Structure 1
């Protein structure tokens, strides 16, 4: 406990200060307002104020921002002694990642005359990238130090920007809601990191790796925020008008259908027919993940409901049957079950996107085909080839996520980053001042652990 506290006292503030100073210097040298934000450029042009992108995008940005800081933060508060860390480290990582993402995404997408131009759309994209990092955070929750999390975020944001550029720009794939670039990437990156960071003696902290009544209730707050705002998340950066409208509708109905199938499967898979709060907290959101890639396509409400219905089923089955197998056979200790909420539904969404894109025709889309699939509309490629692009993009995303997670996992194993020992994982009092009776209870638990370790060493 003393060693961990010393590491925190020295390493966390030094890491935070150095990273922020570097960010400030880079922003000063490379970042400037875009044409819709810069006072001189905007007012010297012929634009009316209400044509500013801010009025179209900022409401969506607000919704996405709430999802990142409240939705993801509270979703991970289910651990009964890790609530401070779940919300607090979510806050820390997100605040760092959105700054770093602005730079990394700017290098690939927003550089003009040697400068990164930023506006409300770059804010949304940075939050999207941050979402992928927070998904990975869910896989390693409770087993990593805040310094490890910051280092993971630094590398993951960089790889996310590379993958996003390859998939969306080089390959020309469509992924409005990020089924591939956000959810699949974040999940499989995190799963590979947690595999490399495997803890053979994690069962010594098993009594903390569980929920209590009030912690599950807090986590449900995160679920409801995410569920309500997911249509905004998927539609935030699609084109104005019918594309954005369609994406929100498709997500809306996919989530609704997913919720019913999640409740049904949760009850069906229980021997006594009782609902499992873990399933409801997580699987009910899988419809939003699965509707991401095809959200702006002519998926139809009927198709969206089928996608959501299937996503809820595979997510619940994953929590019930697949997660124990992954931990036992593959040594993947996935704390939040990100494979079931983001991984498998993300892959499902990517496959649905590839199939839907393959059937894009002028008869179905009319003049709107040019908005969704400009290369198909211009006759440059056939719709079937767009479907192939989508499938290749999924394979590329999986490859970069797994290889990147492998490398970053080995980096995070270095002792300099101060990972907590197996015996005191999922414990807030390592990193936080815990008030009142909880603090005394935690100190008693830690004293017992230290005594047991001392006795083993002496023997």
Structure 2
């Protein structure tokens, strides 16, 4: 039986209906917060604020711009490595991110920003940053399923992914009072295990029929490298965007900057050692070089010291690169997990490393390092958790990591079961990784004329000799 992949009705219906639903829900629930509506003038007077420059917009907007670029340009272009799926990589990234940020503003708003007086969600610039963070988890999950699912399935994946993210974020950050400014646990660990579990449920035993399409060409790898560079440059903003104003935010940028730099050198070294004749593998360079940013997420605002940041980047670069060399082929052959972008290597393992580093660093915190007030401010030892010690905080940090993993695994299994229903117009095994199924594709170049880079194509992942990718 031939699958029907025609999306003429299903995709427009989903997009129109869900966008209309967003308009209605925003009309009922969403309002500007006090710093983004006309009452800011009254707020300034009441709080003796003398200038508009103290509006949170001026503290956060630069970071918001950087994070926004990462979501739409960095993530999108990093997934353009497949020779016949660049439209799908960057285009569907655009689609699900645009839908996801709207749903995230609602879901996160109901948990974090609901005004109990008028039951409205009050949003400002920090809400926009958090919505981008939420969407990042879904884009990570998309990396595991890249080229194997329909756009309607991706919308469903995002709908449930944002919902699960909002719940696990609330549990980890608000109930457990865990610190995770850069989202090693909340974003990367959850998103990776969510996507990997969905990919496991949707396992395609005959995917080798699309083997000839799961390759890159010279110019597609160059485009993917553009995504890597955008992500690498802006990652300090990602990890520091919602950190505390002042020293916490400053420290998060420094620590991430150093960790990223260390992961680059480590990746180049191991990539050369792992290949014949010492040549470099672009798969490693595009992806494992970013592992330091992922692993530094949780502890980014802690007093981990500059050399500690280099150690984190060094270790995460090793783990991520070796994951591409050894683990990804094993996962597909033995565990039946077809991880198109290798998100296990760039998000799951470095995310777990980040959670562990955060737990250890928190448990070792002391007044001699942070100062009394600094320790209280850093870990929020106030209110309900005013009696919490640093060692207890370390235990809660570890608990947060397990919550993120549990939500990813259980949620991915449930959503994978829904996506496995034969109603979503997903491609056949022989048509995966091909834009022609869902896009109007320009005519092919004349095969008699050598196209830029066509002489240097390589596989991306079906046998132990073949490279597996990863996505940020």
The answer to whether TM tops 0.5 is: yes
**SS at 1:298 equivalent:** coil
Q: Please state if 1:374 is matched with 2:377.
A: no
**Residue 455 of structure 1 corresponds to which residue in structure 2?**
none
Shift of 1:410: 0.3
Superposed displacement of residue 368, structure 1: 1.8
CA distance in 2, matches of 1:261, 1:396: 30
Q: Segments of 4+ in structure 1 off by > 6 A?
A: none
Distance between the aligned counterparts of 1:195 and 1:333, measured in 2?
7
- Aligned counterpart, 1:17: 16
| 3-state secondary structure, aligned to 1:375 | coil
Instruction: Give per-residue Cα distances to partners, 1:8-44, cap 9 Å, x unaligned.
Output: 1111000100110001100000000001001134445
Q: CA deviation at 1:432?
A: 0.8
Q: Name the stretch that deviates more: 261-270 or 59-68.
A: 261-270
1:414 corresponds to: 421
Unaligned runs of 5+ in 2: 449-472
Please give the alpha-carbon distance, in whole angstroms, between the structure 1 residues aligned to 2:240 and 2:39: 30
Q: Residue 402 of structure 2 aligns with which residue?
A: 395
What is the deviation of 1:382? Answer: 1.3
Distance 1:44 1:348, change over 3 A: closer
Provide the rounded CA distance (Å) in 1 between the counterparts of 2:260 and 2:211: 33
**Structure 2 counterparts to residues 80-91 of structure 1, below 5 A:** 80-91=83-94
2:162 to 141, 157, 163: 157
Tell me the TM-score normalised to structure 1 length.
0.94
Change (3 A) 1:438 1:165: farther
- The answer to whether the aligner puts 1:201 opposite 2:200 as a matched pair is no
Specify the alignment match of 1:451 in structure 2: none
Query: What corresponds to 2:140 in structure 1?
Result: 135
In the alignment, the residues of structure 2 paired with residue 326 and residue 128 of structure 1 have an alpha-carbon distance, to the nearest angstrom, of 27
Deviations 1:197-231 (A, max 9, x none): 00010000011011110000000000000000000
Query: Quick one: distance in 1 between partners of 2:386 and 2:430?
Result: 61
Shift in Å, 1:4:
4.2
Q: d(CA) in 2 for partners of 1:186 and 1:353?
A: 18
Aligned to 2:411: 404
Structure 1 portions without partners, runs of 5+: 442-459
TM-score, normalization by structure 2: 0.91
Aligned equivalent of 1:30: 29
Specify the SS of the correspondent of 1:346: helix
Measure, in 2, the Cα distance between the counterparts of 1:316 and 1:204: 28
**Counterpart Cα distance in 2 of 1:313 and 1:34:** 44
Larger proportion of helix: 1
Aligned counterpart, 1:452: none
Structure 1 residue 369: Cα displacement: 1.6
Please state how far the C-alpha of 1:3 moved relative to its aligned partner: 6.0
Say which SS state the counterpart of residue 116 (structure 1) adopts.
Answer: strand
**Distance (whole Å) between structure 1 residues aligned to residue 382 and residue 226 of structure 2:** 42
Contact 1:258/1:308 (8 A) holds in 2: yes
Correspondence for 1:448: none
> Once the 2 structures are TM-superposed, how far is the Cα of residue 69 of structure 1 from its aligned partner?
0.1
Q: Distance in 1 between matches of 2:399 and 2:417?
A: 27
